[in-house]
A and B are shown apart, each in its own frame.
Chain A
Amino acid sequence: MPEQKPEERRQNFAEVNLGLNFHLATQEAMRCLECANPKCIDGCPVGVKVKDFIALVLTGDYLGAAAKIREDNILPAVTGRVCPQEDQCEGTCIMNKKFGAVGIGYLERFVADYERESGQIGLPPIAPPTGKKVAIVGSGPAGLSAAGDLVQRGHQVTVFEALHEVGGVLVYGIPEFRLPKEIVRQEVENMKRMGVEFQTNVVVGKTVTVDELFGEEGYHAVLVATGAGLPQFLGIPGEDLCGVYSANEFLTRVNLMKAYKFPEYDEPIYNCRGKNVAVVGGGNTAMDAIRSALRLGAKNAYVIYRRSVAEMPARAEEVKHAREEGVQFLLLNNPIGFLGDEKGWLRAVQCIKMELGPADESGRRRPVPVQGSEYVLPLDVAIIAVGTSSNPLVQSTTPDLKTRKGGYIEADPETLKTSKMGVFGAGDIVTGAATVILAMGAGRKAATAIDEYLRTGVW
């Protein structure tokens, strides 16, 4: 995949990966062995018919290929960019072991981009109206994917979003350089054309309750897809100093509020130019945050992670991109306190070195502190990216909705039915924080169950 040169891209928010051209796309598609029993489809959480779409790429029917993907995946231009394909379709590709997998993600992105640029979007057919109304709470990947499936089956679908823009983590979390917001907007436009209604500025649980959605608002089923949006902090001294952010706040300011264009946009963000910035954590969110800080002009950009590179949950490609751009990895390091000045501004972080002990319950080797290895690193901005937890607003005003430890919603693993009749749950709010595509897979599963419930009335 051609990409922007590291020294250029670290100065801008434009997309890093540039996409395949026709020649490269054809070359890549030709590598597909057209297996009789293709494993790639099994590897895909939403079951994209990979073999079929690649065959269409080979005939030059790119629009047909895009439409083929859209049958199973409502957001091809998005997943073509952010899916961890190496663990999914490409991971199960027969070519993977010996020759390297077919670049399925790149091809998906190529046909989705071709389709978007052509303006001829191959929207799937819509079944005749069923007269049933479905409310979807949350417009992230799970909600969008369920909405796409349900509207195709003839149901009237309304998606409620708490923020002012539709897309959930796709618009507030993932940065422009990895997923241009214009692409999300276009996918949402497509869904509007399919008949999905979007209502922004509605916090279900506050503005309207689930019971009111069933009552005066007249919905027949509700899907809760509110995600795992609450930031976790480290719980160490100095975390309230000015300059210490949750990754959610830092990324929301940059992505949703466009703070990187301040003062053209009004929302401010700490001026990172010439400053020392560190992210704490080793996931994709951590990579997104620190690479954003680099683009905001950070002099030194550190990843502080308490385990080694082998345990890092971030995609290998993201780590590679971050390294190329000049991010410094302080692996086997753990912050134990933030130090500030008298005005309350962050000035440094105190860290301790770690070493790996035996494996813990996650199967990863447990990091243990090295006695006496504490040191102080000068720092102006710290971004905490150590995970998120469940968003409680719906549950707190829906007493008959059962939750489990951590406030996540209990749902049947097959039907995604919750303890409350007519209410389904999908995505991170059920499973805990996961990936875009797993949430989309859950959304599809929920859509199938909701459709059946609406048709049969059987709970």
Chain B
Amino acid sequence: MGIEGFSIAEARFLAPDVKLFRVVAPRVARKQQPGQFVIIRIHEHGERIPLTIADSNPTEGTITIIVQGIGKTTKLLNRLNAGDFILDVVGPLGRPSDVRLFGTVVVISGGVGTAIAYPIAKALQRAGNHVITILGARTKNLLILENEARAVSDEVFVITDDGSYGEKGLVTGKLDALIAGGKKIDLVLAIGPIPMMRAVAEKTRPCGIKTIVSLNPIMVDGTGMCGGCRVQVAGRSQFACVDGPEFDAHEVDFDGLAKRNAMYRESERQALEQFVSEPESGPELIRHRCKLEDVAPR
């Protein structure tokens, strides 16, 4: 929390453009519960972005975050390595997941959503639930945390869009099969891209299976102050940062969420284009600290 920020104890790529960071943040580590997130800012000119906490180690005082390099800030973050610093880390924010004994729980995650789903699955299993995990990815090398998920699940199904690993298809297909097979499911947790979460919600709605999603709207402060993250749930405006980020999937207005998330697409595109065109650009601070070579395993 000194002038340099929060130091990175470990950094490694899990997949191309997907990097795991273990960050020293003792107060956050001590308080973190599954489902909560932090807001980070990398440098003095940086934006504030929310990232879900994938794990924490209160003894070491570290939290784990997993970052997919999509926009300027996440791509810049993914250039940082062990020994570098993140200027600001604040949290844990949001309500923790509702962890108790439900019975059989199906945890469905798509892509980097697995980083969010994993700690919740772990807690649900610890609470005595029978945890079935469906891991989805576009292709084999984008699949993350498979071993970790296996360790906290009673059954695991891996699905890839292109069939390069596990079964070929969509996560919703596997969910369909489970439901059709007569499996009694008490809770479904879906975390991933909006279309995936929406599709899961539509599968479980007719069967009346309680379904929870973790939302990722635009945020600034993360403490309820700006209202940028508001989303319609059951016809009421809710702030994902303090009322969520988890909500009843059958009550969420996914269409509205998707539209609001597109609000800064043009600015995001502009910032990314500029960033990619001048890879050496950016404030002195980051240039100084970053090792610019990309160490992603290819």
A227-265 interface code vs B (CB 8 A; 1 in, 0 out) = 001110100000110110110110011000110001111
Q: Is A152 an interface residue (CB 8 A)?
A: no
Which chain B residues numbered 248 to 264 have a C-beta less than 8 Å away from chain A?
256, 259-260, 262-264
A206 with B263: CB separation less than 8 A? no
A246 with B271: CB separation less than 8 A? no
Closest residue on chain B to residue A217 by CB atoms: B27
A230 with B90: CB separation less than 8 A? no
Chain B binder among A28-36, A54-62, A76-84, A195-203: A195-203
Closest residue on chain B to residue A342 by CB atoms: B259
Chain A contacts for B91, CB-based, 8 A: 203, 206-207
B224 with A391: CB separation less than 8 A? yes
Q: Is B87 an interface residue (CB 8 A)?
A: yes
Most central of A162, A258, A392 by chain B CB within 10 Å: A162
Chain B contacts for A243, CB-based, 8 A: 263
Chain B binder among A37-45, A63-71, A266-274, A308-316: A266-274
A201 with B89: CB separation less than 8 A? yes
Chain B contacts for A268, CB-based, 8 A: 47, 264, 267-268, 271
B90 with A257: CB separation less than 8 A? no
A164 with B87: CB separation less than 8 A? yes
Chain B contacts for A163, CB-based, 8 A: 90, 221
Q: How far is the CA of A364 from the CA of B223 in the complex (A)?
A: 33
Chain A contacts for B224, CB-based, 8 A: 229-230, 391-393
Chain B contacts for A203, CB-based, 8 A: 90-91, 93, 223
Closest residue on chain A to residue B45 by CB atoms: A265
Most central of B1, B27, B73, B91 by chain A CB within 10 Å: B27
Chain A contacts for B231, CB-based, 8 A: 240
Most central of B73, B226, B232, B274 by chain A CB within 10 Å: B226
A248 with B263: CB separation less than 8 A? no
Known A-B contacts A162-B221, A252-B220; the reply to A207 vs B27 at CB < 8 A is yes
Chain A contacts for B73, CB-based, 8 A: 266
B45, B221, B230: the one contacting A240 at CB < 8 Å is: B230
Which chain A residues numbered 178 to 237 have a C-beta less than 8 Å away from chain B?
199-203, 206-208, 229-231, 233
A201, A240, A248, A264: the one contacting B232 at CB < 8 Å is: A240
Q: State the interface size on chain B (CB cutoff 8 A).
A: 43
Closest residue on chain A to residue B89 by CB atoms: A201
Q: Is B164 an interface residue (CB 8 A)?
A: no
Q: How far is the CA of A458 from the CA of B199 in the complex (A)?
A: 61
Chain B contacts for A253, CB-based, 8 A: 220
CB distance from B189 to the nearest CB of A (A): 23
B220 with A208: CB separation less than 8 A? no
19 contacts between A and B (CB under 8 A): A162-B221, A164-B88, A172-B221, A201-B1, A201-B89, A201-B90, A206-B92, A207-B27, A230-B225, A230-B227, A239-B237, A240-B230, A246-B227, A249-B220, A249-B227, A253-B220, A258-B45, A343-B262, A393-B242
8 pairs of A and B residues whose beta carbons are closest in the complex: A344-B259, A268-B267, A249-B226, A266-B47, A201-B90, A267-B47, A246-B227, A164-B88
A240-B230, A262-B271 given. 18 additional CB < 8 A pairs? A164-B87, A208-B31, A230-B227, A233-B230, A242-B260, A248-B225, A249-B226, A252-B225, A257-B47, A267-B47, A267-B220, A268-B47, A268-B264, A268-B271, A271-B266, A343-B259, A391-B224, A392-B224
Task: Give chain B's interface residues, CB within 8 Å of chain A.
Answer: 1, 27-28, 31, 41, 45-48, 72-73, 87-93, 220-221, 223-228, 230-232, 237, 242, 256, 259-260, 262-264, 266-268, 270-271, 274
